[in-house]
Amino acid sequence: MNVTGIAKSHHADIPKASSRKEWKLSDSLREQIAGYAREDAVQGVYMGNKFLDLRKSEVAKVAPDRAMLMGKNDMKEIRKIDEQWKG
């Protein structure tokens, strides 16, 4: 058996990027972002609170535990989660 055969059999169950479900920007979301950008431009603000809240909610839909994975939770949040896991 050659090394190529081992590598192929080892990675056979990993889905390819093209087969994964991809997040796409819908037309309504695009319009909402553009509206927020116009409002922020009038106020002289770059990425205002409405946009940041929208972005945060979209990220939460895709990766609800992203903050924990990146280690960005504060200690209170970590303790709360630990207590939930303990039972």
11 vs 60, higher pLDDT: 60
Instruction: Give yes or no for residue 41 having a pLDDT over 90.
Output: yes
Half-sphere exposure of 34 (CA within 13 A, CB side): 7
State residue 6's pLDDT score: 55
**Span of 13-17, 30-34, 75-79 with lowest mean pLDDT:** 13-17
Length of the chain in residues, anyone?
Answer: 87
**Taking the CB of residue 56, how many other CB atoms lie within 10 A of it?**
10
- pLDDT averaged over the chain? 75
Nearest CA to 50 out of 22, 29, 70, 73 is that of 29
* Residue 8 clears pLDDT 60, i.e. is over it: no
pTM for the predicted model, two decimal places: 0.50
